[in-house]
Structure 1
Amino acid sequence: MSSARTLVQADWVVGHENSHHTLIRRGQVVYEGSDIVFVGRDFPGEVQESVDYGRSLIAPGFVDLDALSDLDTTILSFDNHPAWKKGRTWPKTYMDTGPYEMYSPEELVFQKRYAFARLIRNGITTALPIASLYYREWGETVEEFEGAADAAADLGLRIYLGPAYRTGNPYIVREGQIELFFDEPRGLRGLKDAVDFCRRLEGRHGGLIRTMLAPDRIETCTAELLKRTAAAGRELGVPVRLHCCQGAFERETVRRLHGMTSIEWLQSLDFLTDRTLLPHGTFASPSRFMPEPGRDLDIIAEAGSVIVHCPLVAARFGDGLESFRSYRQRGLRIGLGTDTSPPDMLLNMQVGLMICRFVEGSAEACTAADYFDAATIGGADALGRSDLGRLAPGCKADFVVWDLANPDLGQVIDPIQTLMIGGNGRDARTVMINGRAVMRDRAIAGLDFAAASARAQSQFERLMAKYPERTLGHPPLSNIFEPSYPLR
């Protein structure tokens, strides 16, 4: 990071005034060290460096509240259903023989570094990682997250870290019958380790590394784990993220075990605060998936908790908010998460916008600006960070230069609308985080992305080869992951 005062300018700049984004033609951003000192036109002071990006948009970096930090498993389940038959839930035979880590410690650190680089390449400057526990012995480890902190700092990614933990795990007894196994002491040890991690790593690497608490899906947590997590979150002052209201199995399990909805149960445990992040919010009442009367959404709004909207991954499996507009009208706070591969926030927003307009039956249901706000201001405010998600004096110098000169992009009348129609993550050319150029012209210093991609593919194939061990009936790999068309 250079301490020199630097001016960057482009055909378009997303500024910020009176709590709202603005568009500035032929705008300028001036930063010194890690902070922005000016946004506008005709900067009156002296600068040591100046860069003109020409036909580009300079915009605040995206805040990803549910950012994929492993090698994506979505592709393994995309056309391979039902999940319990395709290795997405452990069979009892695998539980009985003892689950084990399917990645080595070195592979776990590599997958995070690789995933973090992909986030940067898609214009994401602040991330809260999420990874699957399907291939883990139980939860995530402090050691791998210490490695993740170093990897993020080396790449320059602003990140909130916390190892995932749980007290329970679903498993298949027989075809179609899923039960839960609980080991509360193990889960509470995971919480203790996560709290210690937060205390040790909060603010490391000049504040680039922050921490959070990340209990796993609500149906894999006991009441004691959730109550202690909420108390620890309040004491530490860190975000607490819990995946809930995201599926039929969760809905039915929580009702069976606790006699109420997921949100009603969390309210009874005094879990919900304005620092609580809730991916995904699609199975909250009242909605298409929970048509019975209920107060889930009102409870979330009253607590000030944040819905982490992940439209792309939800749509891939037939889910979706009903709707983004109606949630906003209820006063719900909404940020965005990608939670899948590619971690393309632009594609994520495009899908969300189209779903909202389709569900509402109106092209006026939401705008490009509504989703751009959620991906920037919404995510930053969810973290209590008024210095992120916007370009204004006093904010962190976290911005992305989007290429508008690409002839495949089409014509530009309004740059935000143009990106929402035809842009994708590969249009991010330069990424600045905390005043450091972490990517220039698609290149990340010290990273051979092609070589990393080849290593990721090899590591992924080794993971796939182990799937029969953790699939009901232990079928051959060819029966678990069937090709789109017959192989010849």
Structure 2
Amino acid sequence: MSTTRIADIGWAILWDAEAKRHVYRQGIDIVFTDDRITHIGPGYTGPVDKTIDGTGLMVMPGLVDIHSHLLSENVGRGVTEEIGNPALYMSGVADPKPLFLPGHSMDSDTLAAEGLRAATRMAISELLLSATTTVVDLAIPYEGWLDTLAETGIRSVAAPMYRSAAWVARTGHTVEYDWDEKAGRKAMDAAFRTMDLAVQHPSGRLSAMVSPAQVDTCSVELLRDSNDMAKERNWPITLHTGQCVWDHLEITRRHGLTPVQWLGDIGLLSDRMILAHAIFLDHHSWIRWHTHRDVPLLAETGTRVAHCPLVFSRYGQMMESFGQYVKAGVAMAIGTDTQPHNMLEEMRLAATLGRIGGRHVEDTNIGEVFHAATIGGAEALGRDDLGRIAVGAKADIVLVDLAHPAMRPVRDPLRSLVYSAADRAVREVYVDGRQLVRDGKVLTVDRDEAADTLQKVQTDMLQAVSKRDRLHRKAEQVSPLSLARG
């Protein structure tokens, strides 16, 4: 056993279980032995193997990223941030973003596989540096996926995706569906085999989440069977819902109900379900459906929402609004979805866009967002030992440098961290009591090596765009450079 004491802490964010809220405490010690927090309070006098001077630190729980696509996003850096499709209500998820996904029709299968691993490692390193200790990875499994997650040291939830239909954007202004239920079933069976391997992984830090891909691409039978198997295994389940205007239009065309109401009708709404992203619901100004039942229905059923504001802000879209969902009683959690995988930046956007979307300065505050990024995510995973600093909780702990200029003057350090310093002030990160970040450097990922691989993968991917694009455009025609070449 190994015991670490963080002594005389400047500011600590602790979980008050009775009040069900985070609170500030100052001048205390936090002690963890191996993977568990064992003591919180002033003047610890027990035996220790290591003491950390906490006088210049804020100690906080690690954040929980409830929704991320680790393998697909980082290769699009400098490419996908400003592309979308105005003819598809600004969303680029079906067209043109799929042109810039790794591993699709690339010239080198070996390079594609290396790229998936490098992208996963780079994304996790970004999460660790932004105070994140748990991540849900929604992915198409590749060889070595689970081991790659485990090797980084982060706590990972494997969520292999599958579906009954693929999106087809033949015209650029419509989305059609290529249905293959047999292939969807086969992918579902493979996903459950992968999830079984995740929970059995020798690292002890991997778990599973059932992940039928999208509300509009899965048959009702696939969704119901997925939900039944999630219940049987006591696993959470997640489903992309309300992520674009056209998934609302498609489900209302098929069923005469909004996606949320249809999911309620077929028995999928519950506190086990995490809807990603639940933005375009019946009340949204871009939808203006004749009912206003979606948000109350989520609250009544305990259904959770994974909120990822950055990726939607790039399309000129936002939730309406984070604070209104919270006030209605919806259980909220925070995810990154896209690159850069930075939970602190997502929190800043959630708070800022919450006030814009709610058209009120008091719509959303950092305390609510922090709760969603910690307790909200942990509860969605069914974990009462994550997202909090409390005796018996996992030693998933973040140390923030209060002396960093972006944190000073120190008055409300959480607010300063989110609005000013972000990842620049994150000094040390522990997962299961193991140090993964020291002095702002990730110890388990060679970031330069991963970046070198991603450079090669992106070059290969961009060269292949014209072969895959319906109009045979080159990459720079689909995603022009910010400035003209001189």
- Give secondary structure in 2 for the equivalent of 1:358: helix
1:460 to 458, 462, 466: 458
Q: Which residue type is aligned with residue 460 of structure 2?
A: R
Q: How many pairs does the alignment contain?
A: 469
Which of 431-440 and 419-428 deviates more? 419-428
Match of residue 222 from structure 2? 225
Match of residue 114 from structure 1? 122
Q: Deviations over 1:71-123 (max 9, x none)?
A: 434753332342789986479xx9xxxx7577633332332222222221221
1:284 to 281, 284, 292: 281
Shift of 1:343: 1.4
Q: Contact 2:245 / 2:287 at 8 angstroms: preserved in 1?
A: no
Distance in 2, matches of 1:148 and 1:453, equals 18
Distance in 2, matches of 1:202 and 1:345, equals 25
Match of residue 395 from structure 2? 397
Q: Deviations over 1:3-41 (max 9, x none)?
A: 212101331111122222121112321000110011222
**Judging changes above 3 Å, is the alpha-carbon distance between structure 1 residues 167 and 416 closer, same or farther for their aligned structure 2 residues?**
same
Shift of 1:206: 4.6
Map 1:273-312 → 2, pairs under 5 A: 273-292=270-289, 293-312=291-310
Q: Which residue type is aligned with residue 325 of structure 2?
A: Y
Distance in 2, matches of 1:273 and 1:88, equals 27
Which of 453-462 and 79-88 deviates more? 79-88
Shift of 1:290: 2.6
Which of 473-482 and 361-370 deviates more? 361-370
Match of residue 316 from structure 1? 314
2:204 to 207, 228, 236: 207
Q: Contact 2:64 / 2:377 at 8 angstroms: preserved in 1?
A: yes
Match of residue 438 from structure 2? 440
**Judging changes above 3 Å, is the alpha-carbon distance between structure 1 residues 427 and 83 closer, same or farther for their aligned structure 2 residues?**
farther
Map 1:69-218 → 2, pairs under 5 A: 69-70=70-71, 71-72=73-74, 73=76, 75-82=78-85, 89=94, 100=105, 104-131=112-139, 140-141=140-141, 143-144=142-143, 147-218=144-215
**Judging changes above 3 Å, is the alpha-carbon distance between structure 1 residues 275 and 25 closer, same or farther for their aligned structure 2 residues?**
same
Q: Contact 1:84 / 1:172 at 8 angstroms: preserved in 2?
A: no
Distance in 1, matches of 2:367 and 2:170, equals 48
Match of residue 236 from structure 2? 239
Deviating above 6 A after TM superposition, structure 1's stretches of 4 or more consecutive aligned residues are: 83-87
Q: Contact 2:115 / 2:454 at 8 angstroms: preserved in 1?
A: no
Shift of 1:466: 1.6
Give the TM-score, by structure 2 length. 0.91
**Judging changes above 3 Å, is the alpha-carbon distance between structure 1 residues 350 and 301 closer, same or farther for their aligned structure 2 residues?**
same
- Give secondary structure in 2 for the equivalent of 1:423: helix
Distance in 2, matches of 1:39 and 1:351, equals 32
Shift of 1:275: 1.2
Match of residue 485 from structure 1? 483
Distance in 1, matches of 2:49 and 2:42, equals 17
Say if 2:43 is the partner of 1:35.
Answer: no
Q: Contact 1:172 / 1:179 at 8 angstroms: preserved in 2?
A: yes
Q: Deviations over 1:443-473 (max 9, x none)?
A: 2335322232222222122222222222221
Q: Contact 2:106 / 2:460 at 8 angstroms: preserved in 1?
A: no
- Give secondary structure in 1 for the equivalent of 2:274: strand
Which of 280-289 and 99-108 deviates more? 99-108
Distance in 1, matches of 2:3 and 2:296, equals 47
Distance in 2, matches of 1:240 and 1:272, equals 10
- Give secondary structure in 1 for the equivalent of 2:177: strand
Match of residue 14 from structure 2? 15
Unaligned runs of 5+ in 2: none
- Give secondary structure in 2 for the equivalent of 1:272: coil
Distance in 2, matches of 1:154 and 1:468, equals 36
**Judging changes above 3 Å, is the alpha-carbon distance between structure 1 residues 302 and 75 closer, same or farther for their aligned structure 2 residues?**
farther
Q: Contact 2:248 / 2:258 at 8 angstroms: preserved in 1?
A: yes
Q: Which residue type is aligned with residue 168 of structure 1?
A: A
Residue identity over aligned pairs, in percent, reads: 28
Match of residue 135 from structure 1? none
**Judging changes above 3 Å, is the alpha-carbon distance between structure 1 residues 355 and 89 closer, same or farther for their aligned structure 2 residues?**
closer
Shift of 1:309: 1.0
Q: Contact 2:84 / 2:95 at 8 angstroms: preserved in 1?
A: no
Give the TM-score, by structure 1 length. 0.90
Q: Contact 2:95 / 2:172 at 8 angstroms: preserved in 1?
A: no
**Judging changes above 3 Å, is the alpha-carbon distance between structure 1 residues 157 and 239 closer, same or farther for their aligned structure 2 residues?**
same
**Judging changes above 3 Å, is the alpha-carbon distance between structure 1 residues 175 and 337 closer, same or farther for their aligned structure 2 residues?**
closer
Distance in 2, matches of 1:324 and 1:87, equals 23
Q: Contact 2:299 / 2:328 at 8 angstroms: preserved in 1?
A: yes
What's the Cα RMSD here?
2.2
- Give secondary structure in 2 for the equivalent of 1:220: coil
Match of residue 471 from structure 1? 469
Q: Deviations over 1:155-177 (max 9, x none)?
A: 21101103111111111233423
Match of residue 259 from structure 1? 256
- Give secondary structure in 2 for the equivalent of 1:243: strand
**Judging changes above 3 Å, is the alpha-carbon distance between structure 1 residues 310 and 87 closer, same or farther for their aligned structure 2 residues?**
closer
Q: Which residue type is aligned with residue 28 of structure 1?
A: D
Q: Contact 1:215 / 1:242 at 8 angstroms: preserved in 2?
A: yes
Q: Which residue type is aligned with residue 309 of structure 1?
A: H
**Judging changes above 3 Å, is the alpha-carbon distance between structure 1 residues 477 and 360 closer, same or farther for their aligned structure 2 residues?**
closer
**Judging changes above 3 Å, is the alpha-carbon distance between structure 1 residues 175 and 124 closer, same or farther for their aligned structure 2 residues?**
closer
- Give secondary structure in 2 for the equivalent of 1:191: helix
Q: Deviations over 1:291-312 (max 9, x none)?
A: 2223112222222110111122
**Judging changes above 3 Å, is the alpha-carbon distance between structure 1 residues 88 and 344 closer, same or farther for their aligned structure 2 residues?**
closer
2:409 to 411, 414, 417: 411
Shift of 1:408: 3.5
Distance in 2, matches of 1:195 and 1:383, equals 17
Unaligned runs of 5+ in 1: 132-139
Match of residue 380 from structure 2? 382
Distance in 1, matches of 2:149 and 2:431, equals 11
Distance in 2, matches of 1:479 and 1:217, equals 29
